[in-house]
A and B are shown apart, each in its own frame.
Chain A
Amino acid sequence: MTITKKYPRNLLRKDAILAAIGAYRDRFFSWLIPVGAFLLSLAILSIVIAVAKVSPLVAYGALMRGAFGNQHAIATTLIHATVLIFAGLGIAVAFRSGVWNVGAEGQILIGGLTSAVVGIYVKGLPIYVHLPLCLASGFVGGSLWGGLAGFLLAKYRVNEIITTLMMNYIAMYFVGWLIRGPIRDPGGSDVQTFMILPSATLPIIYPGTNLHAGIIVALLTAVLIYVLMFRTSIGYQLRAVGINVHASRYSGMRIHLVQVSAMLISGGLAGLGGAAEILGAQYRLRDYFLSNYGFDAIAVAMLGQLHPIGLVLSGILFGGLKTGAATMQRMTNLPSSLIYLLQGTVVIFVVSATILQTMSARSLSRREERRNERRAPE
Chain B
Amino acid sequence: MTNAVGFENIIKRFLGVVANDDISLAIPRNEIHSLLGENGSGKTTLMNILYGLYRLDSGRIYVDEQPVQINSPQEAIAHGIGMVHQHFMLVPVYTVAENIILGQRLKREPLLDLSSAEQSISDISRSYGLGVDPRAEVSQLSVGEQQRVEIVKALYRNAKILILDEPTSVLTPSEADELFVVLRRLKEEGRTIIFITHKLKEVMNIADRVTVLRGGRVVDTVSAKDVNEASLVRMMVGREVFFQVDKSIARPRGVALELDNVSVSNDKGKLALKNVSFVVEKGEIIGMAGVDGNGQVELEETILGLRTVDSGDVRICNQSTLKLRPDEIIKRGVASIPSDRERTGIIGAFTISENLLLKGWNDPRFSNHTFLDLKKIREYSENLMQDYDIRAPRSSTVVGHLSGGNKQKAVLARELASKPIVLVACQPTRGLDVGATEYIRQRILLERDRGAAVLLISADLDEILALSDRIMVLFNGEIMGSVDSDHINMEEIALMMTGWRAKDLENHESVNVAFRGNSL
With A246-B344, A250-B306, A372-B431 known to touch, is A378 a contact of B401 (CB < 8 Å)? Answer: no
Query: How close is B35's CB to chain A, nearest CB, in angstroms?
Result: 11
Cβ contacts under 8 Å, A253 to chain B: 327
Q: Tell whether B6 is near chain A: CB-to-CB under 8 Å.
A: no
Interface residues on chain B, size class: 35 or more
The answer to whether A231 and B374 have CB atoms under 8 Å apart is yes
Contacts A368-B342, A375-B40 given; indicate if A18 touches B15 (C-beta within 8 A): yes
- List CB contacts (< 8 Å) of A227-277 with chain B: 231-234, 236-237, 239-240, 243-244, 246-254
Q: Is the CB of B401 within 8 A of A22?
A: yes
Q: Which of B325-370 contact A (CB under 8 A)?
A: 325-330, 336, 338, 340, 342-350, 354, 357-359, 361-362, 367, 369-370
**A/B pair count, beta carbons within 8 Å:** 174
Residue A21 is within 8 A (CB to CB) of chain B in the complex = yes
Query: Whose C-beta in chain B lies nearest to the C-beta of A5?
Result: B389
B386–A4 CB distance below 8 A? yes
* Contact string against A for B residues 22-36, beta-carbon threshold 8 Å, 1 for contact and 0 otherwise: 000000000000000
Q: Is B433 an interface residue (CB 8 A)?
A: yes
The interface-forming segment of A8-16, A290-298, A322-330 is A8-16
Q: Are B17 and A375 in contact (CB under 8 A)?
A: yes
Contact-residue bracket for chain A: 35 or more
Partner among B16, B48, B354, B403 whose Cβ is within 8 Å of the Cβ of A372:
B403
User: Does more than half of chain B's interface fall in helix, strand or loop, or is it mixed?
Assistant: mixed
Query: Which of A23, A232, A239 interacts with B398 by CB under 8 Å?
Result: A23
- When distances are taken between beta carbons in the complex, the residues of chain B under 8 Å from A20 are 393
Q: How far is the CA of A254 from the CA of B261 in the complex (A)?
A: 28
Whether A233 contacts B41 in the complex (CB less than 8 A), given A4-B389, A12-B391, comes out as no
Q: Are A244 and B348 CB-contacts (below 8 A) given A22-B401, A253-B327, A370-B44?
A: yes
Contact with A along B358-395 (1 / 0, CB 8 A): 11011000010111101000000000001111011100
Pair B41/A15 contact, Cβ less than 8 Å: no
The 8 Å CB contact of A365, one of B15, B348, B443, is B348
Interchain CB contact under 8 A, B359 and A251:
yes
Inter-chain CA distance A4–B349, complex, in Å, is 27
Question: Digit string of B299-335 for contact with A (CB within 8 Å is 1, else 0)?
Answer: 0000010100000000000000000011111100000
The answer to whether A252 touches B39, judged by C-beta atoms less than 8 angstroms apart, is no
What is the distance, in angstroms, from B433's C-beta to the closest C-beta of chain A?
Answer: 6
B146 CB-CB contact with A under 8 Å: no
Q: Does A155 contact B (CB under 8 A)?
A: no
Let me know if B283 is at the binding interface, CB within 8 A. Answer: no
- Residue A128 interfacial (CB < 8 Å): no
Contact A374–B19 (Cβ < 8 Å): yes
Q: Smallest Cβ distance from B92 to chain A, in angstroms?
A: 15
> B325 contacts which of A7, A26, A254 (Cβ < 8 Å)?
A254
B190 contacts the other chain (Cβ, under 8 Å)?
A: no
A51 close to chain B: CB less than 8 A: no
Let me know if A377 and B215 touch, CB within 8 A.
yes
The yes or no answer to A129 lying at the interface (CB within 8 A) is: no
Asked if B338 and A366 sit within 8 Å, CB to CB, the answer is no
Binary B-proximity of A1-39 (CB < 8 A = 1, otherwise 0):
111110100011011111111110010000000000000
Q: Would you give 21 A-B contacts (Cβ < 8 Å), ordered by A?
A: A3-B446, A7-B389, A7-B391, A15-B402, A26-B398, A243-B349, A244-B349, A247-B344, A250-B336, A366-B87, A369-B86, A370-B48, A371-B14, A373-B43, A374-B45, A375-B39, A377-B433, A377-B435, A378-B433, A378-B435, A378-B436
Seen from chain B, the residues whose Cβ lies within 8 Å of a Cβ on chain A are 14-17, 19, 38-45, 48, 86-87, 214-215, 304, 306, 325-330, 336, 338, 340, 342-350, 354, 357-359, 361-362, 367, 369-372, 374, 386-389, 391-393, 397-398, 400-406, 431, 433, 435-436, 439, 442-443, 446
4 shortest interchain CB distances as A-B pairs: A252-B327, A16-B393, A377-B40, A251-B358
Interface contacts beyond A19-B401, A370-B44: sample of 15 additional A-B pairs, CB < 8 Å, sorted by A: A4-B387, A7-B391, A233-B371, A234-B370, A236-B354, A246-B340, A248-B358, A252-B329, A252-B330, A253-B327, A371-B403, A372-B39, A373-B19, A377-B215, A378-B391
